[in-house]
Amino acid sequence: MSADRHPFGDDRVEADVSTNQSHPEATTDAAFKRGVRQMWALGNYAEFAHEFVWDLGPELVQAANVRRGQRVLDVAAGTGNAAIRAAALGAQVVASDLTPEHFPAGRDNARATGVQLEWVEADAEALPFADDSFDVVMSCVGAIFAPRHQRVADELVRVCRPGGTIAMLNFSSVGLFADFLGVFQPYMPAPRPQDLPPPLWGDEAHLRALFGDRVDNVRLESNAYVERAASPRAYCEFCKRTFGPAVAIYAGLDAERAAKLDAAFEAFATMNNRAAEGPIELHYPYVIFTANPVDRAGLAGRSAEPG
């Protein structure tokens, strides 16, 4: 996938974008965020998450070393695949997401697990929490979809106490996820100039540049998980029905273009199937990034020292 596009940051489902001459940038950004929220509310994300990414939550929680009594924030928590696992360990958990339409399913998941946590509507680029509010700030293939990466990194550092843990499970920068996005790229609108694509969150150099000297003990671990379906067509149809961004893209296509996308999508699933027989298996590589914020006062003091 090329770095000049940001799939799944789509505001075209917002039909009545207004303008504000005194603050046009703020108004445009608000409209963009409304569109993103509407897009992720499409389909059935709860079903999608349980089928494909639910078991990634424990991986992230373990990497973050979540412990009883800690204050934990899950950013772009979706229906709670990581947040609920952290709560099950006895942590005090806040699950935040731009799309509160995910929360009813998340609350159902929490009740089924026998845990309680707080659900808060929040933008990963402007979190509504005070500085140093949490011992652990984590995100499981969630915050990567916020298009302004530096703002997200700044917010993760800001709300995590010095010595706490920032933990992210991100798709790898190269591999199947980038190829998956590439299938949809020709059918996406042009990105805003300030937006960056999600796969960059899986690039070590990009992560180090985003967080800089505000964190130490940076660690990256690579792994992969498997998505399964009865056939390439079944895989594509499931995504088209449950995954909000795919639902939004198909909704904007006429029959001819939808058929072309179907063909490309099924070809992607067929070509990347790793199973010799039976149901298909698609292996998605990911990285787990962990780091510890440093004391900001000390950092400011060092930066003020003469060179």
Q: Is residue 263 part of a domain?
A: no
Residue carrying the six token digits 């005090």? 92
Which residues, at least 6 apart from 38, have a Cβ–Cβ distance to it below 8 Å?
13, 14
Q: Is residue 273 part of a domain?
A: no
Residue 26 has a pLDDT of 59
Q: What is the CATH number of the domain that holds 79?
A: 3.40.50.150
Kindly state the helix (H) or strand (E) to which residue 281 belongs, with its residue range. strand 280-293
Residue 297 has a pLDDT of 76
Region of residue 160 (left: phi > 0; alpha: psi -120 to 50; beta: else): beta
Q: How many domains does the chain have?
A: 1
pLDDT in tens, the chain (307 residues): 333 444 555 443 433 333 334 445 556 889 999 999 999 999 999 999 999 999 999 999 999 999 999 999 999 999 999 999 999 999 999 999 999 999 999 999 999 999 999 999 999 999 999 999 999 999 999 999 999 999 999 999 999 999 999 999 999 999 999 999 999 999 998 888 899 999 999 999 999 999 999 999 999 999 999 999 999 999 999 999 999 999 999 999 999 999 999 999 999 999 999 999 999 999 999 999 999 999 977 665 554 455 4
Which residues, at least 6 apart from 154, have a Cβ–Cβ distance to it below 8 Å?
none
Q: Is residue 103 part of a domain?
A: yes
Q: Which value, to the nearest 10 degrees, does the dihedral of the CA atoms of residues 60, 57, 52, 9 take? A: -70
Question: Are 53 and 81 spatial neighbours (Cβ–Cβ below 8 Å)?
Answer: yes
Q: Is residue 153 part of a domain?
A: yes
Q: Is residue 291 part of a domain?
A: yes
- Alpha-carbon separation of residue 289 from 124, 137, 170 (angstroms): 17, 12, 8
Could you tell me the two tokens for 166? 């920032």
Residue 307 has a pLDDT of 47
Which residues, at least 6 apart from 17, have a Cβ–Cβ distance to it below 8 Å?
11, 28, 31
Cα–Cα distance, 123 to 306 (Å, whole number): 38
CB atoms within 10 A of CB 278: 9
Chain centre to alpha carbon of residue 198: 8
Amino acid present at 178: A
Give the range of the structural domain holding residue 194, as residue numbers without chain letter: 24-224+286-295
Q: Is residue 119 part of a domain?
A: yes
Residue 10 has a pLDDT of 44
Q: Is residue 1 part of a domain?
A: no
Amino acid present at 42: L
Q: Is residue 235 part of a domain?
A: no
C-alpha R_g of the chain: 19
- pTM summary value: 0.89
